[in-house]
Chains A and B, each alone.
Chain A
Amino acid sequence: MTNGTWDPTFDAEKTRDARNVAPDLGALAGEGALQRVRAPERGGDQRQLESERPQRRPGEVVSAEAEGPSYYGLPVLKDPVWRWYIPAYFFTGGLSGACAVLGAAAQAAGGTGTEGLVRRCRVAAAAGAFASAGLLIADLGRPARFLNMLRVFRPTSPMNMGAWLLSEFGGEAAVAALPVVWRDAPRWLVRAGDLAGYGAGILGLPLVGYTGVLIANTAVPVWQGTRNTLPILFAFSGAVSAGALLQLWAPRWLHAQPGRARHTGPKMVLRFGRVAKAAELAVSFALDREAAARAPRVAWPLHRGASGAMLRAARGLIAASLVVDLLPRRGWRQRRALAVASGALAMAGTLLLRFGVVQAGRASARDPHATFEMQRRGRGGTEEAKNRGVARMPSLPGVEATGKESSVAGPGV
C-alpha cells in the first residue's frame, strides 16, 4: 500500500490465497505456505461450524443433565472426509474378493458343470479389483500420489495393509482372468491362470473383511464400538453381493453342458447366497447389540436418521432376497426370473448397507455425546489399561509396527 490508497495487487493476493501476504513484502516459506487455496471465500474449515442436530425421535426429550456437558454441541471429532467413492469401494472390493473366493472354491471342489462359474468369478474378481483401485485413487486428495501407499509397510494401519492386499490381489486376479478373456491363450498361461485363481481366492478372503477393520480402527464411536462384528458383517455382505452378481450374470443356457451337471454352478451360487444372506442378517442384529452394549448413544445412528433408514432398507432388501431364494421354482424360465429378482434385491441391499454404515459413522462423529458417553462408560482408554495394558499391534520381526523408525532422523533428513 502506498500513500493510503488501496493497492490492487494486495487485493488480488488476498482473493487468490487468503493469506494477505504481499509478495514484495514477504516470501511464502512457512510450514503452511504450501497449502493450496482454490476457494478462499468458502474457507477450508467451515464444514462443521454448525451444531449438528442430534438424531432425536419426534417428541423425544433428552435433558441437558442426562446428556452431560458439551462445547455448544459442536462435534468433538472430525467427520470422515471420504466421499461416495469409499462406500462404493467397500462394495466393489467385497464383491471382487468374494467372487475370487467362490471361484477358487468352485475350481477346487465344484467339478464338472462349474467351469462357467469359475470363468465368471475370475472376470468379476479382476474387474472388481480394477474398479476398486480406481475408486480408491479417485477419493484421494492427491490422486497422483497413490503409489505412496506402498512406500511403507505399516501393520498398525489397516489402510496400508489393504493397499498391499489389493495390489497383490489385483495382480493375481488379472492373471487368473487372462485365459478367460483371451480364448487362444497358450497352455502355460492357462496353468498360470489356474494357479493365480487359487492365489486370488486366498488373498480375496482378507480383502472381503479388512474394510470392516479399516473403519473400526477410527475414533468414530459407532465404528469403533462395533469393531468385533463389523468385519464379519462386511465379509458376509461381500459374499451376498458376489452371490447376487452371479445370479444376475447367469450362464447362457443353450451353450451350457447338457444333463444334470449344468445345474451345479447355479445351485452352488444359490446355496452360497442363501447361507450368506442368513448370516448377514444375523450379524447385522449382532452389530446392533454390540453397539448398544458400548453405550446407547453409540447405537443411535444405526436406528435413526438417514443412516438408520438406509440400514433398515438394506436389511429389508436382503431379507426379501432370501425369501425369493427360498420360493419353490419350476422350469428354467421361472428359475431365471426368480434368480434375477433375488440378485437385484441382494445387490441393492449390500450396496445400501455400505453406504448406510458410512453414513452412520458420519452421524456418529458429529454427535459429541456418542464419544463422551462411550468413554464415560469406561469404553475408552481405561478399558484397555485395566485389562492387559494398552495393546500394541503385533508385527513381523524387523518391522516397526508404528513407524517409529523415523523418530531419530526427523522429517527432511
Chain B
Amino acid sequence: MPNAPSDTVLSAGEALTRERAGRPGPAPRQMGFFTDTTLCIGCKACEVACKQWNQLPDDGFAFTGMSLDNTGHLGASTWRHVAFVEREEPLPGSGSPRDGAAAATLPFAELFPAGQPGPTSLLRDIAPSHIETPVPLGPTEKALGKFSWLMMSDVCKHCERAGCLEACPTGAILRTEFGSVYIQPDVCNGCGYCVAACPFGVVDRRMDDGRAWKCTLCYDRQKAGMIPACAKACPTASIQFGEVSELRARARSRVEQLHSRGVSQAYLYGADAASQPGTEGLHAFFLLCDQPEVYNLPPDPVVPTAKIVRSWWAMAAGVLSLAALAVGSAVTARRS
C-alpha cells in the first residue's frame, strides 16, 4: 500500500506496533471530518476519490436536471455526495468591507491541519501563498444580481450516538477504534433497519447486493496510517480530516475568522453535543452558511432510541390491557 510518511496521522510503523502488541494504543484517537462549505468549489474530487479508493460501483449515470448535482443523495454505493444549492441570495460575506482584499493576506497554511497536504497534493511543489475566501464572482455576480451557489460535500456523520448502530439487530454496525461507525459487510444480513433509523438518510441497502453500506471513514486507510481518500483529494481543504477535538477548535476559530470578515451567516452544524443534543455531536461536522434544510440536513436530528423508552412503556400498557381483556372475556363468557 502506498504510504508517504508526511501524510500520516498515525505513522504506519506506530500502527503496526500497536497491532502486533495485540491491543490498541493508550487512548484510541477519535478521528473525524470537518467540512468547511465556504471552501467547497464543487469539483466532486471527493466523490471520485471515494468511489475509486473504495472501488464502489457507479450509480447508473443519471441526469437529475435540477442542478449540477447529478448524484442526488448519499447511498449504498455513494459515500460522498456534493450538494449544489442555487439561491437567490448574495454570496455569504459579499459586499462586506473586507470582501476579497483582506482575505488575500491570509496565509494558506493557516487553513490546513498539520500533516495534511495542501490543495495541490499531487503537485506538491506548487503551493499558493494565500486564498481568497469567499471567492468573489466578480462580473458574473454583478450580472446575476442576487444569486449565489452553496456547495457542500456530504458524508456519513459518524454520530456520537448513532441511530444505525443502536438499531442494528445483528451487531454488524460497531464503533471502531477511530470513533467511526462501521458496518461489517461479513455480518450484515440486510434487514434494512439502519436505513430507516438513520436521521440523516445516509445508510442505504443496495438491492442487488442485499446489504447496507455507507462511508467507513476509510477504515482501511486509517489502519495503514493514511488519511481518508476524500480529504486527501480535496483541492481546497474544504474537507479536513483529523482528531475530532482538534477539528472542533479549528472550526470554531474558522467561524470567528469568517464572522470578522463579514460572513455573519457562518455557523457550525453538529460540532458538539451542546449544539446538537439529539446525536450528542457528529464526528463529521460542517460549517454552513444557511439553514441546514437548504443543504438537505435535518435541523434538529435525534437518535430514535432517545425517545423509545416511553414507547416501550406504552406497549406494556397496551399488551397488559390486552391480557386483562382476554382473561376478562374468558371469565365472563364462562359465567353467562
Contacts and interface: CB of A to CB of B under 8 A. Distances in A.
Q: Do A and B come from one complex?
A: yes
Interface of A: 17-21, 28-46, 48-49, 51, 68-72, 74-78, 80-82, 98, 101-102, 104-106, 108-111, 113-114, 139-143, 145-146, 148-149, 151-152, 154, 156-160, 162-163, 205-206, 208-210, 212-220, 223-224, 227-232, 234-236, 238-239, 264-265, 267-269, 271-272, 275-276, 279, 361, 365, 368, 371-372, 375-376, 378, 380-385, 390-394, 402-404, 406-412
Given A77-B198, A391-B306, A140 B191 contact: yes
Contacts of A46: 59-60, 62
B277 to A, nearest CB: 3
Given A45-B77, A371-B298, A402-B166, A227 B308 contact: yes
A157 B174 CA distance: 13
Contact of A31 (B54, B315, B325, B329): B54
A201 to B, nearest CB: 8
Given A74-B296, A393-B309, A30 B54 contact: yes
Contact of A391 (B76, B79, B296, B307): B307
Interface in B193-208: 193, 195-208
A390 B166 CA distance: 14
B56 to A, nearest CB: 4
Contact of A212 (B280, B302, B315): B315
B73 interface: yes
A375 B54 contact: no
Given A75-B201, A78-B196, A231-B315, A390 B320 contact: no
Given A46-B62, A78-B196, A380-B298, A110 B334 contact: yes
B169 interface: yes
A72 B85 CA distance: 9
Contacts of A72: 64, 66-67
Interface string B42-83: 000000000001111111111010110000110111110001
Interface of B: 24, 28, 53-62, 64, 66-67, 72-73, 75-79, 83, 85, 161, 163, 165-178, 182, 184-185, 187-193, 195-213, 216, 218-220, 276-280, 290-291, 293-312, 314-323, 325-327, 329-334, 336
25 contacts: A30-B55, A32-B213, A35-B77, A42-B60, A43-B58, A43-B62, A45-B204, A69-B290, A70-B296, A78-B196, A78-B202, A81-B195, A114-B334, A141-B188, A152-B169, A157-B166, A157-B169, A205-B322, A213-B315, A228-B314, A378-B300, A385-B277, A391-B306, A402-B161, A411-B182
Contacts of A37: 57, 208-209
Given A19-B56, A19-B58, A393-B309, A384 B278 contact: yes
Contacts of A391: 306-307, 309
A375 B193 contact: no
Given A110-B334, A232-B318, A406 B205 contact: no
Given A110-B334, A216-B311, A71 B193 contact: no
Given A384-B306, A393-B309, 12 more contacts: A35-B185, A141-B191, A158-B167, A215-B196, A217-B304, A235-B322, A375-B298, A390-B278, A402-B166, A403-B168, A404-B175, A407-B175
Contact of A239 (B174, B218, B306, B325): B325
Nearest to A378: B300
B198 A30 contact: no
Contacts of A51: 66
A40 B57 contact: yes
Q: Which of B166, B295, B326 has the most CB of A within 10 A?
A: B326
A290 to B, nearest CB: 10
Nearest to B176: A410
Contact of A149 (B170, B185, B294, B319): B170
A113 B331 CA distance: 12
A208 B319 contact: yes
B209 A111 contact: no
Contact of B201 (A78, A272, A276, A394): A78
Given A32-B55, A39-B208, A227 B311 contact: yes
B170 A152 contact: yes
B278 A380 contact: yes
Contacts of B302: 375, 380-381, 383-384, 390
Contact of B189 (A145, A272, A390, A403): A145
Contact of A32 (B56, B170, B189): B56
Given A45-B76, A141-B210, A227-B307, A109 B62 contact: no
Given A17-B57, A36-B208, A235 B175 contact: no
A15 to B, nearest CB: 11
Q: Which of A40, A82, A385, A408 has the most CB of B within 10 A?
A: A385
Contacts of B28: 407-408
A368 B314 contact: no
Contact of A142 (B166, B211, B308): B211
B57 to A, nearest CB: 4
Contacts of A376: 299-300
A235 B182 CA distance: 35
B84 to A, nearest CB: 9
Nearest to A33: B55
A224 B195 CA distance: 14
A12 B312 CA distance: 53
B66 to A, nearest CB: 5
B329 A271 contact: yes
A36 B178 CA distance: 27
B190 to A, nearest CB: 2
B193 A157 contact: yes
Nearest to B278: A381
A235 B318 contact: yes
B57 A19 contact: yes
Contacts of A230: 311
